Amino acid sequence: MNCWYIQDAQFKLNEFIAIFKNLAYTDYSALNREKSSVVTAPGCLNIRTRLLADEIVSQIATFKGWMQQKRYSPNTIRTYIDAVQTFFKYYHRKHPEDITNVDLDEFNSNYVLRNGYSVSFQNQVINGVKLFYTRTYSRRFEVEKVERPRREHKLPNVLSKEEIAALLAAPANLKHRTMLSLIYACGLRRSELLNLKPEQVDSKRHLLLIINAKGKRDRVVPISDKLISLLREYYKIYKPKAWLFEGMTAGTKYSEKSIQSVLKQALKQAEIRKPVTLHWLRHSYATHLLESGTDLRYIQELLGHKSSKTTEIYTHVCEKSLQKIKSPYDDL
């Protein structure tokens, strides 16, 4: 069942939890209550180890191939496949053709909500199951009748310019410094950085061409003389071939895990204790542009947003706009 096993006599739950703290979620709900002295959480179902029928495995493989042909992004394919597999493992004793809207509602109530899974996971399951049934059984779920979670309205996390300067100056390694600088200076997503090729840097026109980004859209963003100088210095030393940023082996793409480690180390060196992610740099880029007077329409184009409403969230965290507001407290 693709699992590691530990002998019962050697297993100590407290030590296990301590080792995997901050690394993985520990579901101990299936352990014997008398042995573990742990109260089982209600609704925790360990369905990941359940095996699917060969027919469903084949259908999911066909579904995956169809998404690849339709050029869905690797992340979307991975997310939908995982969501569909989880859904069918929950209903492992029920044939897919017998599953209805009622079952999808029951899954959301008794599995997603009771286990405290996120809003995004709930929507991913609904979208994945809907697409699977449309493609495999030519049957549409009445999604409008499925209880979707209320949409979250989270503000983007933004670093100050001083924090950005400290973060970008922290790495001693030139490649690491160049990657972080490029993400901030051009407002890139992580995948956009890792998919860059050397020929996408047009130093004469001071432009960076971003190809096949989110939503299958291309865009161009300006790059400054300062950034071009940094890229030239990097290029002379590392001489990348296939990808602008390559891994330990020439011609291989730099990994997502490695760039996350680069950021983590830079944060430590810069003594920034906020839970910063790479996407914070993109948020900071957009917010700092807005604060410097750049029109919102241009920021939308630079970020590659399809809708202006997506870009408008940065107006809620723009420091200069907020500072103009005078509190009535000051007039007391």
Q: Which of 176, 177, 190, 282 is an active site residue? A: 282
* Residues 210 and 306 occupy one common structural domain: yes
Active site residue 214: yes
Query: Active-site residue 305, yes or no?
Result: yes
Residue 139 lies in a domain: yes
Residues 106 and 174 in one domain: no
User: Is the same domain home to 293 and 200?
Assistant: yes
Interatomic CA distance for residues 148 and 146, integer angstroms:
6
Domain membership flag for residue 91? yes
- How many domains, the chain? 2
User: Same domain for 308 and 166?
Assistant: yes
Give residue 322's pLDDT: 62
Question: Domain check: are 71 and 179 in the same one?
Answer: no
How many Cα atoms sit within 13 Å of 124 on the Cβ side? 19
Q: Is residue 9 part of a domain?
A: no
197 plus 314 within the same structural domain: yes
- Name the catalytic one among 176, 177, 190, 305: 305
- Reply yes or no on whether 130 is catalytic: no
Does the annotation mark 135 as catalytic? no
Q: Which two tokens stand for residue 281?
A: 């740099």
Answer whether residue 135 is part of any domain.
yes
Could you tell me if 121 and 83 are in contact, meaning their C-beta atoms sit under 8 angstroms apart?
yes
Q: Look up the pTM and report it.
A: 0.62
Domain that holds residue 58: 54-145
Q: What pLDDT digit, counting tens, does each position of 276-318 carry?
A: 999 999 999 999 988 888 888 888 888 988 888 778 778 776 7
184 and 132 together in one domain: no
Choose the catalytic residue: 80, 90, 133, 189: 189
Which of 117, 145, 173 is at the close of a domain?
145
User: What are the residue ranges in the chain where pLDDT is below 70?
Assistant: 1-2, 21-22, 25-46, 48, 140-141, 143-154, 317, 319-332
126 and 252 co-located in one domain = no
